[in-house]
Structure 1
């Protein structure tokens, strides 16, 4: 959990706790729930208890290793949970300690991705101000309905980077109403034995919107039944690998 992540857009993953509840169609084939089921965790659903991990020392180690490095490591927090989940079993102390940890790791950029952007403001630390320089706020958007529902909640919160993870993309999305408030867009198909096919034009239209607005665009993957099948398809979209990232914020 995970020293060097295989996720294309992050360096490491860190989970302060594990567990979540499905909230939209992007969650239907949730990889994190499948991971938890393999270990008998039973941490998914509104009545399931979230559990704190023992990996809190990892970011401290990565921060020390990154001292003076030319490239800042990106830390996806949390890949097996949602930092802005309002579940009753998530203790207030966990969140306070997470923000303290983030402040203590200035050499890392923490990527906080949520499907609950309406909860962000409620759980920010008192000293958030215009945003921590090493925290990027993002939300998942899989179709137009979720774009309409989520993006404004995200962009209304001050942050040095606002980003979207449009994966697994489940339909065409028009980003023009928000594109000037975004600093990064990640797009990809679904990884699941029950994956739902994506129309390549959905990806192309988002690529073109980002290009026209100068927003970094990252095409993560095509859809497939498993990681091996997806990797065999490569990461090219119309013959180009799109690996856009926001500029450094620290």
Structure 2
């Protein structure tokens, strides 16, 4: 919110609408921008895109039709990798599991006139989109237990979790019978194969930043890193809690936490 207020004061066109002062504030009112959806179509260099880095694609006020257009753009640009992160796990799961939404994406994709990544019948894009990584935020065990199961029940090529800001220890095996990954633990692979689900493909961990940052203990981060190592899941330690000079610099991280991995590209 502080950044949105600052951007509004700088005259940034996309931050001129104020939100509810109880939940957002100056410059943070939700606004969709259909005019920028075509921008990735013009990018020649493969790019990693964090979709709505200061918002939530599955916010209740974002129309289904606009979300379908976003997915159509992502389908039309398979050379880019899109990271989508949400706290609205219920809407994400419901919408992306809907046949009507699939049809809306296909219609919007065809309207773009771009056939990159087309399937043999040339009427629908490949689904789930291999270049779209779907993620949920989970700052503690409570939200991990709620959001991760919804994520695992959502069609996706890569599923990831952002444990940022990490506010407590998280046992990923506690979140769902599939645990972290289909082949990371005994008996997990069989269960996942029966239910047609894959596990998590990436984990991002970070302490809170800012002058009033809440505590993030090193053992919480280390515990999650160790779980990912056992399961063979890529993990990215973004930042630590504590002294601001050491929070972001990976060279200052303790041994075992100097890890910044990415998931493999899905073809």
- Given the two structures, how large is their TM-score scaled by the length of structure 1? 0.74
Q: Kindly state the Cα deviation for residue 176 of structure 1 after the two structures are TM-superposed.
A: 1.5
Contact between 1:112 and 1:136, CA under 8 Å: does it hold in 2?
Answer: yes
Measured in 2, the distance between the counterparts of 1:78 and 1:219 equals: 21
Contact between 2:246 and 2:253, CA under 8 Å: does it hold in 1?
Answer: no
Measured in 2, the distance between the counterparts of 1:190 and 1:244 equals: 20
Q: Which runs of 4+ in 1 moved over 4 A?
A: 46-49, 127-130, 232-235
> Which is helix-richer, 1 or 2?
2
- Structure 1 residues 233 and 193: alpha-carbon distance in aligned structure 2, compared to 1, 3 A threshold: farther
| Unmatched runs of 5 consecutive residues or more in structure 2 | 10-15, 106-125, 182-198
Match of 1:52 in 2: 32
Match of 2:152 in 1: 155
Match of 2:42 in 1: 61
Alpha-carbon displacement from aligned partner over 1:160-203 (angstroms, at most 9, x marks no partner): 11100000000011012421211111101111221012110000
- Structure 1 residues 154 and 36: alpha-carbon distance in aligned structure 2, compared to 1, 3 A threshold: same
Residues 198-207 or 98-107, more deviating: 98-107
Matched, 1:95 2:63: no
Measured in 1, the distance between the counterparts of 2:83 and 2:250 equals: 27
Measured in 1, the distance between the counterparts of 2:225 and 2:258 equals: 11
Alpha-carbon displacement from aligned partner over 1:18-62 (angstroms, at most 9, x marks no partner): xxxxxxxxxxxxxxx221122264235389852123543432233
Q: Kindly state the Cα deviation for residue 235 of structure 1 after the two structures are TM-superposed.
A: 5.8
SS in 1 for 2:102: coil
SS in 2 for 1:111: strand
Measured in 2, the distance between the counterparts of 1:182 and 1:232 equals: 26
Match of 1:179 in 2: 180
Measured in 2, the distance between the counterparts of 1:229 and 1:241 equals: 12
| Unmatched runs of 5 consecutive residues or more in structure 1 | 1-32, 67-72
Contact between 1:154 and 1:162, CA under 8 Å: does it hold in 2?
Answer: yes
SS in 1 for 2:92: helix
Matched, 1:146 2:143: yes
Paired residues in the alignment total 208
Match of 1:198 in 2: 216
Give the 5 Å matches for 1:116-131: 116-124=88-96, 125-126=101-102, 130-131=127-128
Measured in 2, the distance between the counterparts of 1:165 and 1:208 equals: 16
Residues 203-212 or 93-102, more deviating: 93-102
Measured in 2, the distance between the counterparts of 1:239 and 1:167 equals: 19
Contact between 1:219 and 1:237, CA under 8 Å: does it hold in 2?
Answer: no
- Given the two structures, how large is their TM-score scaled by the length of structure 2? 0.70
Measured in 2, the distance between the counterparts of 1:162 and 1:112 equals: 10
Contact between 2:246 and 2:252, CA under 8 Å: does it hold in 1?
Answer: no
- Structure 1 residues 118 and 46: alpha-carbon distance in aligned structure 2, compared to 1, 3 A threshold: farther
Contact between 1:218 and 1:243, CA under 8 Å: does it hold in 2?
Answer: yes
- Which has the larger Rg? 2
Contact between 2:205 and 2:237, CA under 8 Å: does it hold in 1?
Answer: yes
